[in-house]
Amino acid sequence: MKKIIGRVTGVILAGIVLFITIFAVYQHLNMHGALKQLRTEGYENRVSVGDYSLNVYQCGKENGNHRIVCLSGFIDGEAVIAWREMTKEIEKNNELYFIDRAGYGLSDDTKNDMTVEYVVEDYRKALKNAGVKPPYVLIGHSLGGIYSTYWESKYPDEIEGVAIFDGVPVYPIEEDQYSAWDFFPGWMHTAGKFGLINALIKPICNEDDDDSTFAILDEKHRDIAWRVLSKTMGSNACNSEEKLFGDNIRKTWDTLKTNEIPKVYVAATTYGVESENPDIKATYMEKLGNCQMVECPGWHEIYLDKPEKCSDILVNFIKEIN
């Protein structure tokens, strides 16, 4: 009887493993199919930054008034399609560049540490090698706000304006607080490598509802967005970014130098750290210099929640720079 039970258990376990393997392969193939669809639609423009390439997608008006560089938030590898409702008005008179940093979207992955200085240098090399000269207007969301802040402080001559949408607050974080910025357990990065985020998280986000995460996208691009997000989450670069969140916040704070570059910070959600220290954002704004705050309550992904409001903010900000 014990032998029979053992054999039956072995068959069941083998069946489960086989099912998971087939399911993972299916999801992985669909993930690569989504990337292929983006290439087919003309979103691919890979630029070498050394031993790998980043994708630099240009849209908007050629030789427009400003060269606007879009820096996505954490795991948002689908920004090139998800931001477009927010940016479509400023695309009429300006050049826009969506750069997928390492591991994101159509860019190559890397095993290098994604320190804030490393990421910003990657952005700068990608633009230089693509023939896009400064000055730039930076638009950063969430983690992209850290990179925008470091960039405009380290290389102020390259920047003529910065718009930060619900950016991660920059403050003198201590090392024992770094764990507060750990978002995902390790298994989620592993699941992302096999394209499984689409299957594991998408149903939880009510993707069949009108209020779903990517509701402003058509059905085809909604599915592409989830699959590209999955690919990004499974990348080595994204995993490194999460581990270095606290360290990058601190480095950016230590590097930050007050200047008169026009800036706007769009506040949507409230990070937990702010409830502990309500003055943290005000301190950040003050150290940035010449920064106005606009309240826009909503999801953290405010460009999806209130794209028209975000668009108005950007249009007015560009007018002020002019």
Question: How much is the average pLDDT of 130-154?
Answer: 96
Residue 216 has a pLDDT of: 82
Q: Provide the H-helix boundaries in the chain.
A: 2-40, 79-82, 84-87, 116-129, 143-154, 186-193, 197-200, 219-233, 236-243, 245-255, 272-276, 280-288, 302-305, 307-321
| Structure confidence at residue 280 as a pLDDT band (50, 70, 90) | confident
User: Chain-wide mean pLDDT for the chain?
Assistant: 86
Residue 206 has a pLDDT of: 52
pLDDT at residue 251 is higher than 90: yes
pLDDT at residue 30 is higher than 90: no
Strand 46-48, strand 53-60: pairing? antiparallel
Residue 23 has a pLDDT of: 63
- Nearest-5° angle of CA 217, CA 218, CA 224? 75
pTM of the model: 0.88
193-208: pLDDT as tens digits: 666 666 666 554 555 5
pLDDT at residue 185 is higher than 80: no
User: 3-class DSSP state for residue 316?
Assistant: helix
| 136 to 151, 157, 296: CA distances (angstroms) | 11, 9, 25
Q: Which residue has the higher pLDDT, 209 or 184?
A: 184
| Structure confidence at residue 322 as a pLDDT band (50, 70, 90) | confident
| Structure confidence at residue 175 as a pLDDT band (50, 70, 90) | confident
Report the candidate in 126, 152, 130 with the shortest Cα–Cα distance to residue 139: 152
Question: How much is the average pLDDT of 83-87?
Answer: 95
Residue 87 has a pLDDT of: 96
Identity (one letter) of the amino acid at 317?
Answer: F
Residue 180 has a pLDDT of: 67
pLDDT at residue 215 is higher than 60: yes
DSSP output for 163-185:
EEESPPPP----GGGGGGG--S-
Given a contact cutoff of 8 angstroms between Cβ atoms, the answer to whether 94 and 64 are in contact is yes
Residue 299 has a pLDDT of: 87
Report the candidate in 18, 19, 35 with the shortest Cα–Cα distance to residue 230: 35
In this structure, of 98-102, 179-183, 309-313, the range with the lowest mean pLDDT score is 179-183
* 2-321 CATH choice from 3.40.50.300, 3.40.50.450, 3.40.50.970, 3.40.50.1820: 3.40.50.1820
pLDDT at residue 70 is higher than 70: yes
